[in-house]
Structure 1
Amino acid sequence: MAEDDDIKTGFASPPCYAHELELFDNGYMGVDVQAALDVARWRKAKRDELIAARLKFSVKDRRALAQEITEELERILTPKAGMILSLYWPMKAEFDLRSWMKKLVEKGVRIALPVVREKAHPMIFREWKPDAEMEPGIWQIPTPVNTDEVTPHVVIAPLVGFDKDCYRLGYGGGYFDRTLAVLKPRPKVIGIGYPDSRLSSIFPQPHDIPMDMIVTGREGVISREP
Structure 2
Amino acid sequence: MHELDPAYRPPLSEWADVRRWRKAERERLIAARLATSADARTAMAANIAEGLDAAIGDVSGKMVSLYWPFRGEPDLRGWMETVNERGGRTALPIVVDKGQPLIFRAYRHGDRLDRGVWNIPIPAEGDPVLPDVVISPIVGIDPDNYRLGYGGGFFDRTLASLPRKPLVIGVGYELQRIVTIYPQPHDIPMDMVVTETKAAGPA
Same fold, TM-score > 0.5, yes or no: yes
2:202 is matched with 224
Count, aligned residues? 191
Query: Which residues of structure 2 form unaligned runs of 5+?
Result: 1-12
Structure 1: stretches of 5+ with no match in the other structure: 1-33
Q: 2:68 aligns with which of 85, 89, 93?
A: 89
- Cα offset, 1:148, TM superposition: 3.1
Aligned-residue offset at 1:200: 0.8
Alignment RMSD (CA, Å):
1.1
- Residues 87-145 of structure 1 show CA distances to partners (whole Å, capped at 9, x for unaligned) of 00000000111111112112221101001112111011000011211111112111002
Distance in 2, Cα, partners of 1:182 & 1:91: 25
Give the letter for the 2:202 counterpart. R
Moved over 4 A (4+): none
Query: What secondary structure sits across from 2:104 in the alignment?
Result: strand
- CA distance in structure 2 between the aligned counterparts of 1:56 and 1:192, rounded to whole angstroms: 18
- CA deviations on 1:56-100 (whole Å, 9 max, x unpaired) are 111111011101100011011124321100000000000111111
What residue in structure 2 maps to residue 63 of structure 1?
A: 42
Where does residue 110 of structure 1 map in the other structure? 89
Percent identity, aligned pairs only?
50
Tell me the residue number matched to 1:133.
Answer: 112
Aligned residue identity for 1:57 = T
Match of 2:133 in 1: 154
What is the Cα deviation at residue 194 of structure 1?
Answer: 1.1
Q: What CA distance in whole angstroms lies between the structure 2 residues aligned with 1:129 and 1:188?
A: 20
Give CA-to-partner distance per residue, 1:13-67, whole Å, 9 cap, x none: xxxxxxxxxxxxxxxxxxxxx8111101100000000011111111111011101
Counterpart contact for 1:213–1:221, Cα < 8 Å: yes
Deviation, 1:178, is 0.2
Normalising by structure 2, we get a TM-score of 0.91
Q: Distance in 1 between matches of 2:59 and 2:169?
A: 17
Map residues 146-185 of structure 1 onto 2, 5 A cutoff: 146-185=125-164
Question: Which whole-Å CA distance do the structure 1 matches of 2:160 and 2:135 have between them?
Answer: 16
Counterpart-to-counterpart distance in 1, 2:31 and 2:96: 29
Q: Which one-letter code corresponds to 1:61 in the other structure?
A: A
Name the counterpart of 1:35. Answer: 14
**Matches of 2:171 and 2:55 in 1, distance apart?**
13
Does structure 2 retain, via aligned residues, the 8 Å contact 1:79–1:104?
no
Q: Does the Cα contact within 8 Å between 1:87 and 1:111 map onto a contact in 2?
A: yes
1:196 lines up with 2:194 in the alignment: no
* TM-score between both structures, scaled by the size of structure 1: 0.82
Cα distance in 1 between the residues matched to 2:129 and 2:17: 37
Say if 1:164 and 1:222, in contact at 8 Å, map to a contact too. Answer: no
The question of 1:143 aligning with 2:142 is answered: no
